[in-house]
Structure 1
Amino acid sequence: MTKNRFSGKHVFIFGGNSGIGLSAAEEFAAEGATLSLTGRSQKTLDEAAEKTGALTLQSDMADPAASVAAIKAAVEKNGPIDILFINAGVGGFAHVGDVTESFWNDVNNVNLKGAFFAAQAALPHLRDGGAIVFTGSIGSVLGIPGNVAYAAAKAGMRAVARIYAAELAARKIRVNVVSPGPTETPLFYRNPGMTEEAIEGMRAHMREAVPLKRIGEPREVARAVLFLASDDASYITGVDLFVDGGTVEL
């Protein structure tokens, strides 16, 4: 693998303070990137800054105005953006009969509306020839009971990414999606109403469903993000890359 693929490049990550986003930040930093990260928790942002040397900005992607402000602050400090990674997301399981309007909005305001407007906010500050990567989910193509709000948001985001790819092709900005399968991230622990026993049961079910019989690690997804963000993927745009141990494919 080519090292220092991102030397001299400004990488902006929405949701870079934990899980896949933090792993990606560490990998980008190791390859020479100048980093700007957002997150909602100041504590985890401070920890991410210590690990990566990134500029960190407390911001909630559910609030489009906050995304605009975060982008502006990052560009003032680190210059135009070369790579945008839109990773921030929220989870939550509820069967269709139990979905409330507030639950639906909480999930979609971050995972769909927030993702769209975060990318939009960055457009005037993205260098031509750059790259955007969205974090999707295999849930967007699987009929998983209890996953309706999250799956709908990620399926919508996949459509958003495809349109971004088509519209930004003239600027030679590539837009792709990385869709993780079961991955050991904090989303496991932030499912409202689920007990520890239920979470562990879900984890065991997911392990069994994966052909490789294990749950993925954030770094394994992060490496796919770096590939799509790099010149190694210079002829790839509009794809949805499943990083899922074969769950969808096999």
Structure 2
Amino acid sequence: MTNRLANKIALVTGATSGIGLATAKLFASEGAKVYITGRRKDVLDKAVAEIGHGAVGVQADSARNEDLDNLFAKVKSEQGRLDVLFVNAGGGAMLPLGQITEEHFDDTFDRNVKAVVFTVQKALPLLGQGSSVILTSSVTGIEGNANFSIYSASKAAVRNLARSWILDLKGTGIRVNVVSPGPIHTAGLVELAGDDKVQQQGLLDYLASTVPLGRVGEPEEIGKAVLFLATEESSFVNGAELFVDGGKAQI
């Protein structure tokens, strides 16, 4: 590797699997001191071991402000600053209009919007000139999606937060950008089809058919895009949405 993040302090939320884990591995291999979060300690400890390079795991639910306070207090006491913040924690389930519940709505927006807002806001005292904040949105934020309207709306909100925050942060030297993955082969995606392996493969095959490249993406491919937004290579990129979707949302 090229040590593009040498001497940088990075935090990846929701990094025990999928895109978050792949990105944390890449950050660490590029020289960053990496902190990661996850809600389950056993899975978090496994991810830390997998990342290596002195990675630090902090058990936290990003939708709980007290957990975020503990997280940033730890980073502050141990490092005193934060150079790269990848706000990746989130998720959602499928429900069609007519079956949407208040619980479903609150859970989705708490995980995908509230958590993003307060993660970034509580990180601000540790961020400074040259810091990079990357938010995870989705192609669903600009597409119509049957049975997925609440999740899609939450991801559209994430994209607009970045547009507004670069105005709030004008003059600070802090950049905020968005990465919007298309269908990516992660546990969270295949689990939308339930536990049946045949149905899971059917979902992957269907999604691949909607992508001009003819396949679903891999978590490492999103990690490479996030790495670009984290480094000086993207020093004049601010408020942008980078689609990593095989062309799915571009047609």
TM-score for both structures, normalised by structure 2: 0.94
| Larger mean Cα displacement after TM superposition, 122-131 or 43-52 | 43-52
Tell me the residue number matched to 2:186: 185
Deviation (angstroms), 1:98: 1.1
- For the residue of structure 2 that corresponds to 1:81, the secondary structure is coil
Which residue number corresponds to residue 87 of structure 2? 86
Contact 2:190 2:203 (8 Å CA) reproduced: no
Offset at residue 204 of structure 1 (A):
2.0
Q: How many residue pairs are counted as aligned between the two chains?
A: 248
User: Is 2:13 aligned against 1:24?
Assistant: no
**AA at the equivalent of 2:43:** T
5+ residue gaps, structure 2, are none
* Gap runs ≥5 in structure 1: none
CA drift of 1:198 comes to 4.3
Please state whether the residue corresponding to 2:50 is helix, strand or coil: helix
Q: Is the 8 A contact 1:68 1:122 kept in 2?
A: no
1:70-92 Cα offsets, whole Å, 9 max, x none, are 11112212330001000001121
**Separation of aligned partners in 2, 1:162 and 1:64:** 23
The answer to whether structure 1 residue 35 and structure 2 residue 34 are counterparts is yes
- 3-state secondary structure, aligned to 1:248: helix
Deviations 1:26-80 (A, max 9, x none): 1011110011111112122112211222110000011122112111112212330
Residue number in structure 2 paired with 1:59: 60
TM-score normalised according to structure 1 size: 0.95
Q: Over aligned residues, Cα RMSD in angstroms? A: 1.5
Separation in structure 2 between the aligned mates of residue 187 and residue 134 of structure 1, nearest angstrom: 18
Helix, strand or coil for the counterpart of 1:170?
coil
CA distance in 1, matches of 2:149, 2:89: 19
SS in 2 for 1:11: strand
How many percent of aligned residue pairs carry the same amino acid?
37
Tell whether the 8 Å contact from 1:164 to 1:175 is kept in structure 2 after alignment: yes
Structure 1 segment 39-188 matched on structure 2, within 5 A:
39-52=38-51, 53-188=54-189
Give the drift of 1:189.
Answer: 4.2
Does 209-218 or 38-47 show the bigger shift?
Answer: 38-47
The CA deviation at 1:152 is 0.8
Amino acid at match of 1:3: T
Q: Which amino acid aligns with 1:26?
A: K
Query: Structure 1: how far apart are the matches of 2:92 and 2:188?
Result: 6
* 1:195 Cα deviation from its structure 2 partner: 5.0
Query: 2-side partners of 1:77 and 1:186: how far apart?
Result: 32
